[in-house]
Chains A and B, each alone.
Chain A
Protein backbone atom coordinates (compact mmCIF):
# COMPACT_ATOMS: atom_id res chain seq x y z
CA UNK A 1 0.00 0.00 0.00
CA UNK A 2 1.42 3.31 -1.10
CA UNK A 3 4.98 2.19 -0.81
CA UNK A 4 6.13 5.25 -2.79
CA UNK A 5 4.24 7.72 -0.58
CA UNK A 6 5.59 6.00 2.53
CA UNK A 7 9.16 6.20 1.24
CA UNK A 8 8.76 9.84 0.27
CA UNK A 9 7.53 10.76 3.72
CA UNK A 10 10.29 8.63 5.19
CA UNK A 11 12.89 10.73 3.43
CA UNK A 12 11.33 13.89 4.83
CA UNK A 13 11.96 12.48 8.31
CA UNK A 14 15.42 11.16 7.36
CA UNK A 15 16.41 14.64 6.15
CA UNK A 16 15.13 16.17 9.39
CA UNK A 17 17.02 13.70 11.59
CA UNK A 18 20.20 14.04 9.50
CA UNK A 19 20.11 17.82 9.86
CA UNK A 20 19.41 17.69 13.60
CA UNK A 21 22.30 15.29 14.14
CA UNK A 22 24.66 16.63 11.46
CA UNK A 23 24.84 13.31 9.65
CA UNK A 24 26.85 13.22 6.43
CA UNK A 25 25.98 9.65 5.52
CA UNK A 26 23.08 7.28 6.23
CA UNK A 27 23.97 3.59 6.48
CA UNK A 28 20.69 2.04 7.50
CA UNK A 29 17.07 2.93 8.21
CA UNK A 30 15.23 0.62 10.59
CA UNK A 31 11.54 0.63 9.77
CA UNK A 32 8.64 -1.05 11.54
CA UNK A 33 5.51 -2.02 9.60
CA UNK A 34 2.32 -3.47 11.05
CA UNK A 35 0.94 -6.35 8.97
CA UNK A 36 -2.49 -4.75 8.72
CA UNK A 37 -0.96 -2.10 6.42
CA UNK A 38 -0.37 -4.66 3.64
CA UNK A 39 2.95 -3.16 2.54
CA UNK A 40 4.64 -5.24 -0.17
CA UNK A 41 8.36 -5.60 0.68
CA UNK A 42 9.61 -5.79 -2.92
CA UNK A 43 7.72 -2.64 -3.88
CA UNK A 44 9.01 -0.93 -0.77
CA UNK A 45 12.66 -1.81 -1.51
CA UNK A 46 12.18 -0.71 -5.10
CA UNK A 47 10.75 2.66 -4.01
CA UNK A 48 13.49 3.09 -1.41
CA UNK A 49 16.26 2.36 -3.90
CA UNK A 50 14.79 4.87 -6.33
CA UNK A 51 14.35 7.58 -3.71
CA UNK A 52 17.80 7.27 -2.12
CA UNK A 53 19.81 8.01 -5.29
CA UNK A 54 21.79 11.21 -5.03
CA UNK A 55 21.02 11.66 -1.34
CA UNK A 56 23.10 11.09 1.78
CA UNK A 57 21.30 7.76 1.99
CA UNK A 58 22.41 6.58 -1.46
CA UNK A 59 24.49 3.70 -0.12
CA UNK A 60 22.12 2.84 2.69
CA UNK A 61 19.87 -0.13 3.19
CA UNK A 62 16.46 -0.30 4.81
CA UNK A 63 15.67 -3.03 7.32
CA UNK A 64 11.97 -3.88 7.60
CA UNK A 65 10.54 -5.34 10.78
CA UNK A 66 6.98 -6.62 10.38
CA UNK A 67 4.71 -6.67 13.42
CA UNK A 68 1.88 -9.19 13.58
CA UNK A 69 -1.70 -8.05 14.13
CA UNK A 70 -2.45 -8.21 17.85
CA UNK A 71 -5.89 -7.78 19.40
CA UNK A 72 -7.13 -7.41 22.97
CA UNK A 73 -10.49 -8.84 24.00
CA UNK A 74 -12.67 -6.19 25.62
CA UNK A 75 -14.53 -8.89 27.52
CA UNK A 76 -11.83 -11.07 29.12
CA UNK A 77 -8.71 -8.97 28.47
CA UNK A 78 -6.85 -11.68 26.57
CA UNK A 79 -4.26 -10.45 24.08
CA UNK A 80 -3.71 -12.60 21.03
CA UNK A 81 -2.25 -12.57 17.53
CA UNK A 82 -4.27 -12.73 14.32
CA UNK A 83 -2.71 -14.57 11.41
CA UNK A 84 -5.61 -15.84 9.36
CA UNK A 85 -8.00 -12.85 9.40
CA UNK A 86 -10.24 -14.47 12.01
CA UNK A 87 -11.22 -11.86 14.57
CA UNK A 88 -12.64 -13.78 17.57
CA UNK A 89 -11.17 -14.01 21.05
CA UNK A 90 -9.74 -17.57 21.33
CA UNK A 91 -10.50 -17.65 25.05
CA UNK A 92 -14.12 -16.48 25.21
CA UNK A 93 -15.22 -16.20 21.52
CA UNK A 94 -16.09 -12.53 22.03
CA UNK A 95 -15.95 -10.39 18.92
CA UNK A 96 -15.58 -6.99 20.59
CA UNK A 97 -11.86 -6.48 20.20
CA UNK A 98 -9.35 -3.63 20.32
CA UNK A 99 -6.50 -3.63 17.83
CA UNK A 100 -3.35 -3.01 19.86
CA UNK A 101 -0.73 -3.72 17.19
CA UNK A 102 -0.70 -3.97 13.41
CA UNK A 103 -1.11 -0.50 11.92
CA UNK A 104 2.42 0.78 12.54
CA UNK A 105 4.43 2.66 9.93
CA UNK A 106 7.34 3.78 12.05
CA UNK A 107 10.95 4.81 11.56
CA UNK A 108 12.46 3.11 14.60
CA UNK A 109 16.02 4.36 14.16
CA UNK A 110 18.56 5.66 11.65
CA UNK A 111 22.20 4.57 11.53
CA UNK A 112 24.80 6.88 10.04
CA UNK A 113 27.78 9.17 10.59
Chain B
Protein backbone atom coordinates (compact mmCIF):
# COMPACT_ATOMS: atom_id res chain seq x y z
CA UNK B 1 0.00 0.00 0.00
CA UNK B 2 1.05 3.58 -0.57
CA UNK B 3 0.78 5.95 2.36
CA UNK B 4 0.67 9.63 1.62
CA UNK B 5 3.14 11.40 3.95
CA UNK B 6 3.89 14.95 2.67
CA UNK B 7 6.31 15.68 5.51
CA UNK B 8 9.28 17.99 5.19
CA UNK B 9 12.68 16.67 6.13
CA UNK B 10 14.97 18.80 8.34
CA UNK B 11 11.79 20.49 9.59
CA UNK B 12 13.00 20.63 13.17
CA UNK B 13 15.69 23.14 12.34
CA UNK B 14 13.17 25.32 10.54
CA UNK B 15 10.66 25.19 13.40
CA UNK B 16 13.35 26.19 15.88
CA UNK B 17 14.55 28.94 13.54
CA UNK B 18 11.07 30.45 13.53
CA UNK B 19 11.09 30.45 17.35
CA UNK B 20 14.45 32.22 17.33
CA UNK B 21 13.19 34.77 14.81
CA UNK B 22 10.15 35.47 17.01
CA UNK B 23 12.32 35.91 20.11
CA UNK B 24 14.66 38.32 18.34
CA UNK B 25 11.72 40.35 17.06
CA UNK B 26 10.24 40.57 20.56
CA UNK B 27 13.61 41.69 21.92
CA UNK B 28 14.15 44.04 18.95
CA UNK B 29 17.55 42.56 18.14
CA UNK B 30 18.70 42.15 14.57
CA UNK B 31 20.85 39.11 13.81
CA UNK B 32 23.13 38.87 10.77
CA UNK B 33 24.47 35.52 9.61
CA UNK B 34 27.89 35.92 7.94
CA UNK B 35 28.54 33.09 5.50
CA UNK B 36 31.59 32.44 3.36
CA UNK B 37 34.10 29.80 2.43
CA UNK B 38 37.02 29.32 4.84
CA UNK B 39 39.56 32.14 4.58
CA UNK B 40 37.42 34.70 2.74
CA UNK B 41 37.89 37.13 5.62
CA UNK B 42 34.74 36.96 7.76
CA UNK B 43 36.61 37.40 11.03
CA UNK B 44 38.65 40.35 9.77
CA UNK B 45 35.50 41.98 8.38
CA UNK B 46 33.83 41.51 11.75
CA UNK B 47 36.86 42.97 13.53
CA UNK B 48 36.65 46.11 11.38
CA UNK B 49 32.88 46.29 11.80
CA UNK B 50 32.98 45.91 15.58
CA UNK B 51 35.70 48.54 15.84
CA UNK B 52 33.61 51.01 13.83
CA UNK B 53 30.38 50.33 15.71
CA UNK B 54 32.00 50.47 19.15
CA UNK B 55 30.24 53.62 20.35
CA UNK B 56 27.35 53.45 17.95
CA UNK B 57 25.62 50.16 18.75
CA UNK B 58 25.55 47.32 21.28
CA UNK B 59 26.76 44.23 19.47
CA UNK B 60 26.79 40.59 20.51
CA UNK B 61 28.79 37.98 18.62
CA UNK B 62 28.11 34.29 18.11
CA UNK B 63 31.27 32.68 16.80
CA UNK B 64 30.87 29.34 15.04
CA UNK B 65 33.89 27.19 14.29
CA UNK B 66 34.56 23.50 13.86
CA UNK B 67 37.20 23.71 16.56
CA UNK B 68 39.45 26.14 18.48
CA UNK B 69 38.57 29.54 19.85
CA UNK B 70 41.02 31.47 17.68
CA UNK B 71 38.43 33.60 15.95
CA UNK B 72 36.57 34.20 19.20
CA UNK B 73 39.81 35.37 20.83
CA UNK B 74 40.39 37.81 17.97
CA UNK B 75 36.93 39.29 18.36
CA UNK B 76 37.05 39.44 22.16
CA UNK B 77 39.31 42.46 22.13
CA UNK B 78 36.51 44.68 20.84
CA UNK B 79 34.71 44.31 24.13
CA UNK B 80 31.48 42.81 22.85
CA UNK B 81 29.76 39.90 24.59
CA UNK B 82 30.71 36.80 22.64
CA UNK B 83 29.51 33.20 22.68
CA UNK B 84 31.57 30.49 21.03
CA UNK B 85 29.98 27.43 19.41
CA UNK B 86 32.37 24.65 18.46
CA UNK B 87 30.60 22.23 16.16
CA UNK B 88 33.25 19.49 16.63
CA UNK B 89 33.10 18.50 12.98
CA UNK B 90 29.70 19.88 12.06
CA UNK B 91 29.90 21.94 8.89
CA UNK B 92 27.27 24.55 9.74
CA UNK B 93 25.54 26.16 12.67
CA UNK B 94 21.92 25.28 13.33
CA UNK B 95 19.02 27.01 15.01
CA UNK B 96 19.17 24.80 18.08
CA UNK B 97 22.73 25.87 18.91
CA UNK B 98 21.85 29.50 18.15
CA UNK B 99 18.91 29.35 20.58
CA UNK B 100 21.24 28.06 23.29
CA UNK B 101 23.79 30.77 22.51
CA UNK B 102 21.15 33.50 22.68
CA UNK B 103 20.27 32.45 26.24
CA UNK B 104 23.77 33.52 27.26
CA UNK B 105 23.21 37.12 26.20
CA UNK B 106 21.20 39.81 27.88
CA UNK B 107 19.21 40.49 24.72
CA UNK B 108 17.61 43.63 26.19
CA UNK B 109 21.08 45.21 26.15
CA UNK B 110 21.82 44.45 22.50
CA UNK B 111 20.96 46.12 19.18
CA UNK B 112 22.52 43.54 16.90
CA UNK B 113 24.07 40.12 16.89
CA UNK B 114 26.64 39.03 14.34
CA UNK B 115 26.89 35.31 13.72
CA UNK B 116 30.12 34.15 12.15
CA UNK B 117 29.09 30.85 10.61
CA UNK B 118 31.41 27.93 9.90
CA UNK B 119 33.45 28.52 6.75
CA UNK B 120 31.37 26.79 4.08
CA UNK B 121 29.39 28.13 1.11
CA UNK B 122 26.90 25.27 0.86
CA UNK B 123 25.40 24.00 4.10
CA UNK B 124 25.03 27.22 6.12
CA UNK B 125 22.78 28.68 3.46
CA UNK B 126 20.39 25.76 3.83
CA UNK B 127 20.07 25.90 7.61
CA UNK B 128 17.97 28.81 8.80
CA UNK B 129 19.24 30.15 12.11
CA UNK B 130 16.35 32.55 12.62
CA UNK B 131 18.51 35.41 11.39
CA UNK B 132 17.27 38.77 10.12
CA UNK B 133 19.35 38.19 7.02
CA UNK B 134 22.47 36.62 5.57
CA UNK B 135 25.61 38.45 4.56
CA UNK B 136 27.70 36.65 1.92
CA UNK B 137 31.44 37.24 2.11
CA UNK B 138 33.57 36.21 -0.85
CA UNK B 139 37.15 37.06 -1.82
CA UNK B 140 39.10 37.65 -5.00
CA UNK B 141 41.46 34.79 -4.20
CA UNK B 142 38.81 32.08 -4.48
CA UNK B 143 37.64 32.45 -8.07
CA UNK B 144 35.03 34.67 -9.70
CA UNK B 145 32.42 31.93 -10.13
CA UNK B 146 30.99 31.68 -6.62
CA UNK B 147 27.62 33.41 -7.30
CA UNK B 148 26.79 31.12 -10.17
CA UNK B 149 27.96 28.00 -8.34
CA UNK B 150 26.17 28.78 -5.07
CA UNK B 151 23.02 30.60 -6.18
CA UNK B 152 21.03 29.87 -3.02
CA UNK B 153 23.38 31.85 -0.79
CA UNK B 154 23.80 34.78 -3.17
CA UNK B 155 20.08 34.90 -3.89
CA UNK B 156 19.17 34.97 -0.19
CA UNK B 157 21.90 37.37 0.96
CA UNK B 158 20.92 40.90 1.94
CA UNK B 159 24.45 42.09 1.09
CA UNK B 160 27.58 40.71 -0.57
CA UNK B 161 31.05 41.74 0.53
CA UNK B 162 33.86 41.09 -1.96
CA UNK B 163 37.07 41.11 0.09
CA UNK B 164 40.78 41.09 -0.78
CA UNK B 165 40.38 43.62 -3.58
CA UNK B 166 44.10 44.39 -3.06
CA UNK B 167 44.98 40.89 -4.25
CA UNK B 168 42.87 40.95 -7.39
CA UNK B 169 45.72 42.02 -9.69
CA UNK B 170 47.67 38.91 -8.64
CA UNK B 171 44.86 36.51 -9.51
CA UNK B 172 42.77 35.74 -12.60
CA UNK B 173 39.61 36.99 -10.86
CA UNK B 174 37.44 38.58 -13.54
CA UNK B 175 35.43 41.26 -11.74
CA UNK B 176 33.09 41.94 -14.69
CA UNK B 177 32.20 38.27 -14.95
CA UNK B 178 31.69 38.03 -11.19
CA UNK B 179 29.38 41.04 -11.22
CA UNK B 180 27.45 39.78 -14.26
CA UNK B 181 26.86 36.40 -12.61
CA UNK B 182 25.94 38.00 -9.29
CA UNK B 183 23.45 40.31 -10.99
CA UNK B 184 21.81 37.44 -12.82
CA UNK B 185 21.34 35.55 -9.54
CA UNK B 186 20.45 38.58 -7.44
CA UNK B 187 19.95 41.74 -9.50
CA UNK B 188 19.55 44.17 -6.61
CA UNK B 189 21.83 42.98 -3.83
CA UNK B 190 24.28 45.64 -2.55
CA UNK B 191 27.88 44.70 -3.38
CA UNK B 192 30.70 46.11 -1.25
CA UNK B 193 34.27 45.86 -2.53
CA UNK B 194 36.76 45.97 0.28
CA UNK B 195 40.20 45.09 1.46
CA UNK B 196 39.89 44.45 5.18
CA UNK B 197 43.60 44.06 5.81
CA UNK B 198 44.44 47.25 3.91
CA UNK B 199 41.47 49.17 5.35
CA UNK B 200 40.28 50.06 1.85
CA UNK B 201 36.72 50.47 0.62
CA UNK B 202 35.17 49.71 4.01
CA UNK B 203 33.26 53.00 4.28
CA UNK B 204 30.14 52.03 2.29
CA UNK B 205 29.88 48.64 4.07
CA UNK B 206 30.25 50.23 7.52
CA UNK B 207 27.67 52.91 6.73
CA UNK B 208 25.30 50.26 5.42
CA UNK B 209 25.54 48.10 8.52
CA UNK B 210 25.34 51.15 10.79
CA UNK B 211 22.16 52.11 8.96
CA UNK B 212 20.68 48.77 9.98
CA UNK B 213 20.99 49.59 13.68
CA UNK B 214 17.97 51.91 13.61
CA UNK B 215 15.83 49.84 11.21
CA UNK B 216 12.71 48.38 12.83
CA UNK B 217 12.45 44.59 12.67
Give me the interface of A with B, judged by CB distance under 8 Å: 1-2, 5-6, 9-10, 13, 17, 21, 23, 36-38, 85-88, 95-96, 99, 104-113
Give me the interface of B with A, judged by CB distance under 8 Å: 1-12, 122-123, 126, 148, 151-152, 155, 181, 184-188
Q: Kindly list 16 other residue pairs between chains A and B, CB separation below 8 angstroms, not including A95-B188, A109-B2, A109-B5.
A: A9-B10, A13-B7, A13-B9, A17-B5, A21-B3, A37-B152, A38-B152, A86-B185, A87-B184, A88-B184, A95-B187, A96-B188, A106-B8, A108-B5, A111-B3, A112-B3
B12 partner residues in chain A, CB cutoff 8 A: 9
Nearest 10 pairs between A and B by C-beta? Answer: A95-B187, A86-B184, A105-B9, A107-B5, A9-B9, A111-B2, A85-B151, A109-B4, A110-B3, A109-B2
Query: In the complex, are the beta carbons of A5 and B10 less than 8 A apart?
Result: yes
> How far in angstroms is the closest Cβ of chain A from B25?
21
Q: Which of the listed residues B1, B122, B123 has the most CB atoms from chain A within 10 Å of its own CB?
A: B1
- Say what secondary structure dominates the interface of chain B: mixed
> How far in angstroms is the closest Cβ of chain B from A91?
15
Query: In the complex, are the beta carbons of A13 and B152 less than 8 A apart?
Result: no
Closest to A69 in B: B151
A6 partner residues in chain B, CB cutoff 8 A: 9-10
Q: Which of the listed residues A21, A96, A107 has the most CB atoms from chain B within 10 Å of its own CB?
A: A107
> How far in angstroms is the closest Cβ of chain B from A29?
9
- The CA-CA distance from A18 to B123 in the complex, in Å, is 30
B188 partner residues in chain A, CB cutoff 8 A: 95-96
- Say what secondary structure dominates the interface of chain A: mixed
- The CA-CA distance from A1 to B4 in the complex, in Å, is 25
Query: In the complex, are the beta carbons of B7 and A107 less than 8 A apart?
Result: yes
> How far in angstroms is the closest Cβ of chain A from B177?
13
Query: In the complex, are the beta carbons of B123 and A1 less than 8 A apart?
Result: yes
> How far in angstroms is the closest Cβ of chain B from A38?
7
A95 partner residues in chain B, CB cutoff 8 A: 187-188
Query: In the complex, are the beta carbons of A1 and B122 less than 8 A apart?
Result: yes
Query: In the complex, are the beta carbons of A113 and B1 less than 8 A apart?
Result: yes
> How far in angstroms is the closest Cβ of chain A from B84?
23
Closest to B186 in A: A87
Query: In the complex, are the beta carbons of B8 and A108 less than 8 A apart?
Result: no
B5 partner residues in chain A, CB cutoff 8 A: 13, 17, 107-110
Q: Which of B2, B9, B152 makes the CB contact (< 8 A) with A110?
A: B2
A113 partner residues in chain B, CB cutoff 8 A: 1
- The CA-CA distance from A105 to B8 in the complex, in Å, is 6
- The CA-CA distance from A112 to B1 in the complex, in Å, is 6
Query: In the complex, are the beta carbons of A38 and B122 less than 8 A apart?
Result: yes
Query: In the complex, are the beta carbons of A85 and B148 less than 8 A apart?
Result: yes
Given known A1-B122, A1-B123, A110-B2, contact A105–B152 (CB-CB < 8 A): no
- The CA-CA distance from A10 to B122 in the complex, in Å, is 20
Given known A2-B123, A87-B155, contact A106–B184 (CB-CB < 8 A): no
> How far in angstroms is the closest Cβ of chain B from A60?
13
Query: In the complex, are the beta carbons of B122 and A87 less than 8 A apart?
Result: no
- The CA-CA distance from A64 to B181 in the complex, in Å, is 29
